[in-house]
């Protein structure tokens, strides 16, 4: 029988393999314009502290200002908001969650789910992935991700 730490390591390895296999065609985590440029898409669920609802407009304004957040939806259920986040790397996601998102006053907890394949996307023309990411993060973030 494996220990909980061994099981966690196996899970992390499995997720890493899925991310490594992802391609531009399935759209979430993978290569674009060369193998050294990477990005990660994650869906982040936010739960606000009870008193934060009085400051909802302020919280939403702060979330809108975070360039890594490409979509934000108010939802019902266990969480209050669902965000779609695009960052250059897994390390970039950790940095964004810890130093960006969790610094927004009123957030009690969050849960991030990493996208490993995009199954269906909205119809219509979309700019190339690299162009979308450069708009979100600027060329410096992509260069940093390639290092």
State the pLDDT at residue 77. 93
Please report, for the chain, the start and end positions of each structural domain, with discontinuous segments joined by +: 4-146
96-135 pLDDT per residue, tens: 999 999 989 999 999 999 998 888 877 776 555 555 555 6
State the pLDDT at residue 92. 92
Which H or E run includes 44?
strand 38-48
State the pLDDT at residue 120. 84
Instruction: Answer yes or no: is pLDDT of 139 > 60.
Output: no
Is 3.30.70.920 the CATH number for 4-146? yes
Residues in the chain: 147
Distances (CA, A) of 25 to 31, 75, 76, 87, 138: 9, 29, 32, 18, 23
Task: Tell me the average pLDDT of the chain.
Answer: 75
| Alpha helices (runs of H) in the chain, residue ranges in sequence order | 4-21, 56-65, 90-95, 129-146
Token pair 């739960």 in the structure block, residue: 47
55-85 pLDDT per residue, tens: 888 899 999 999 999 999 999 999 999 999 9
pLDDT band at 143 (very low <50, low <70, confident <90, very high): very low
């Amino acid at each position: 029988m494996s220990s909980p730490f061994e099981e966690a390591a196996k899970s992390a390895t499995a997720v890493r393999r899925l991310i490594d296999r992802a391609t531009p065609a399935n759209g979430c985590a993978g290569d674009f314009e060369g193998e050294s440029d990477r990005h990660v898409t994650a869906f982040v669920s936010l739960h606000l502290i009870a008193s934060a609802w009085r400051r909802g407009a302020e919280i939403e304004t702060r979330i809108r200002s975070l360039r890594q957040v490409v979509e934000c939806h108010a939802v019902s259920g266990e969480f209050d908001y669902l965000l779609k986040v695009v960052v250059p790397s897994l390390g970039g996601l950790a940095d964004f969650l810890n130093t960006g998102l969790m610094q927004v006053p009123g957030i009690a907890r969050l849960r991030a789910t990493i996208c490993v394949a995009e199954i269906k996307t909205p119809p219509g023309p979309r700019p190339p992935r690299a162009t979308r990411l450069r708009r979100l993060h600027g060329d410096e973030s992509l260069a940093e991700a390639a290092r």
